[in-house]
Amino acid sequence: MVAYIDAFKHQFGVEPICRVLRDHDYQIAPSTYYAFKKRPLSARAMSDQRLLVEVRGVFYANYECYGIRKVWQELKHRRVAAGRDQVARIMRLAGLRGATRRKRVRTTYPEVGATRAPDLVQRNWSLEAPDTVWVSDFTYVASREGTVYVSFLQDVFSRRILGFTVATSMGAQLVTKALDQAISVRKRTNPSFTGQGVIVHSDAGSQYTSLAFSQKLLDHGMAGSIGRVGTAYDNALIESTIGLYKAELIRPGGRAWTSRQEIETATTAWVAWFNERRLHSKLGYLSPVKYEAAYNQNLDLPRQAA
């Protein structure tokens, strides 16, 4: 508690902080704080002070969205010695809490009579290689200029976001441009990549049953796959990613977005962070880029041995 007061006393003052702490069942009087400061710090207090700096650094460097587990895992990546319980205690005292996801609003409106691809995925999200299944979906963001739509395309194996589009309308181009971007991203690291054989899974929205999107898949030798109407679990992985996007960046009710350009700039930065730095529990607390790098390195080991 003393470390916490030290961190915020210049901003709020010692007495107001002590009152707030007492309201939350942390009993410490200003006189106790001052008396404590006059005597040498214990080893635990010194450790807490050092750790508070590290914890705050991790928390604010990651969109203020990490909870206890991810802060602890990031500290381990940084080789900062700390126990999980210690991190939990420091975060609780510092008032640091991870972002929470809200219920998603429906954006899928199937086109009556449109031809739909079969469900080739059947909720199987446990894959052994990248570029086996890609998933796609989109959401909307309110801005002062009007509604802005954001689509994402993600590799199931690594959770890497390969393509995204920000637009003011939700026509077929919203999803075809994200697909083009994903193919371009893969070609930058593998010029021979064509997309042949990749399954592209989505919901039954009219954008994904459109002629433009279907033709794009056909041109690249990809197979379309569509889940059942009204069943979020059939596209659960990308639904989860969009939930993270809303909770970590958009934060409905917490920020007034002014324009499509502002949203696109912020989304670009968030996607780069998501791919390169964000820790994912399903990936052994690695980022998507590092997870793919580890996979590629493991592929190269038998070749080098041969």
Q: What is the pLDDT of residues 91-103, one digit of tens each?
A: 998 889 998 876 6
- Give the E-state strand segments of the chain in sequence order: 133-143, 146-155, 161-167, 199-202, 223-226
Angle CA 177–289–264, to nearest 5:
40
Helix (H, G, I), strand (E, B) or coil at 152: strand
Structure tokens, 222: 């990809």
What pLDDT shows up at residue 220? 96
Q: Which residues 6+ apart lie within 8 Å of 151 measured at CB? A: 136, 137, 138, 164, 165, 167, 174, 175, 177, 178, 207
Helix (H, G, I), strand (E, B) or coil at 131: coil
Q: What is the DSSP letter of 106?
A: P
Q: What is the sign of the dihedral through the CA atoms of 43, 49, 52 and 54?
A: negative
**pLDDT 10s digit of each residue in the chain, 306 long?**
777 888 888 889 999 999 988 888 888 899 888 888 887 767 777 888 889 999 999 999 999 999 999 999 999 999 999 999 999 999 998 889 998 876 655 555 555 555 678 888 887 777 889 999 999 999 999 999 999 999 999 999 999 999 999 999 999 999 999 999 999 999 999 999 999 999 999 988 899 999 999 999 999 999 999 987 656 667 889 999 999 999 999 987 778 899 999 999 999 999 999 999 999 999 999 999 999 999 999 887 655 544
Q: What is the DSSP letter of 63?
A: T
For 172, 212, 215, the CA distances from 118, given in Å and listed in that order, are 19, 18, 16
Strands 161-167, 146-155: parallel, antiparallel or unpaired by DSSP?
antiparallel
Give the span between the Cα atoms of 108 and 230, in whole angstroms: 8
Closest CA to 274 of 252, 202, 266: 266
Give the span between the Cα atoms of 147 and 138, in whole angstroms: 13
What pLDDT shows up at residue 28? 87
What pLDDT shows up at residue 306? 46
Structure tokens, 171: 């026509």
Closest CA to 156 of 109, 202, 188: 202
- Give the E-state strand segments of 84-211 in sequence order: 133-143, 146-155, 161-167, 199-202
Burial class of residue 7 (count of CB atoms within 10 Å of its CB; 0-12, 13-18, 19+): middle
What pLDDT shows up at residue 194? 93
Give the amino acid at 291.
Answer: Y
